[in-house]
Every structure is written in structure tokens, then in C-alpha cells.
Amino acid sequence: MKNFEKKINGLIIGSLFPLSLGLLSITIWVLFDKSESRPFIYLVSGLLIGGLIDLKFLKSWINRRFNLPIWIIAMIYLVYNVFVYGFFMGLPVFNAFLGLLAGYYFGNRICFNKVESEKHSKLINQVSIFSGMIMTLVCISSGFLAIYDNGAAGMIKNVLGLSFEVTSSMLWIIVLIGGLALILTNILLTRIIMIKTIKNYAR
């Protein structure tokens, strides 16, 4: 189980720089070059630089994964939310499941650092609230795009196979209820996985 946890965290940390620099290099291409013959070169360059950073530092980061500053972990979580949000083109459903990773990591971090059991409840609440806040920002952004996108109502109608037009008020209700449901799901997933991870570690 320990090796599995180490591989998962290593994959998450190790993918960060290649993905980030790959995305950054493509952004640079879009803003300053736009030559159709060179996007692949930009992408590969970003990935290679990220890979070299991993080659130099990844082993140390993995060994210190449960002692890295909290702000670094928070930034990693935020960056992955941006990745998932962009990959699914603003659909926030899959961002809710990042709570699984947050709960799994912090559950293991608590156990690894032998945090007193009296502090577990407070830490579980703090991590759950943080993941919920990030999910709230994601839902606000997605909701804003849906409400001000003229094609959103038609897309919802087609996806759900509705026989009637989706009005503006209906769209608002969908955004609000759907957003609240996703935020609650994210918080619950974070809490449940943290608690389960701590309990499994104690066995």
C-alpha cells in the first residue's frame, strides 16, 4: 500500500512541471508565433524542460512529499483544477473528483507525520473547506460561461433530449443547483477519503 501511495503521489508531482511548461509553451506559441509548422516544437520543448526538472528534483520531492510546505501542495491542487477544467472545456463535473486526491494525500500526510488524533477533525474540516472553496471558484467560472453563452441552453436541451426550450430562468436554476451539488460532492469526497485513509493507516 505504501508503494502504491508513493507511486500515485510521484505521478501527481512528477506530471506537474511537464504539463505546466507544455501548456505554457503552447500559450507562447499562440500569442507570439502562430506558425502552423512549429506548435509541436513548442510543446515538446516545454515537456522536455519539465522532464529535466523532474530528473533533477523529483526523487527529492517524492521523499519529502509529506513535508512539503502547505502552500506548495495548495498550488499543485489549484493547478490540477485548472488542467481538468480546461481539458473538459469548462465542464466542472470532473473537478469535483479531485477531492479524492486531496483527501488521499492529506490523510496519508496526517498519518506519516503522526499528527495527534485530537487534531484530525480540525484538519479534515480545513482541507475539506479548502477543496470546497476551489470547487466554488470553478463552479462560478463555469456558471458564468454557461449563463452568458448563447449556445449553452441549446446544448443542455440536446444533451438531455428535452422537448422544450431551456429558458434563462431554467438555466440559472440548473447552474445554481448543479453548482451546489458539485461543491457538496467535492467536500464530502475529500472528508470521506481522508477519514478512510486515516483509519486504514491505523490498522
User: What is the per-residue pLDDT across 31-66, written as a single tens digit (0 to 9) for each?
Assistant: 887 788 888 888 899 999 999 999 999 999 998 989
Quote the CA–CA distance of 105 and 194 in Å, as a whole number.
8
Cβ neighbours of 81 (radius 10 Å)? 19
pTM of the full predicted structure? 0.84
Average pLDDT over residues 85-104: 90
pLDDT tens profile 102-132: 999 999 999 989 999 899 999 999 999 999 9
**Hey, where are the domains in the chain?**
1-65, 68-203
pLDDT tens profile 156-183: 666 666 666 767 777 788 889 989 999 9
- Is the pLDDT confidence value at 93 over 70? yes
> Residues of 177-201 as b/e, b for ≥16 C-beta within 10 angstroms?
ebbeebbebbbebbbebbeebbeee
200 — pLDDT class (breaks 50, 70, 90): confident
121-to-103, 114, 118, 132, 200 alpha-carbon distances in Å: 13, 14, 7, 16, 16
pLDDT of residue 203: 62
Q: Which residues contact 104 (CB under 8 A, 6 or more apart)?
A: 5, 8, 193, 194, 197
One-letter identity of residue 185: T
Quote the CA–CA distance of 122 and 58 in Å, as a whole number.
31
Quote the CA–CA distance of 26 and 16 in Å, as a whole number.
16
Quote the CA–CA distance of 118 and 62 in Å, as a whole number.
28
Let me know: does 74 contact 81? Beta carbons within 8 Å: no
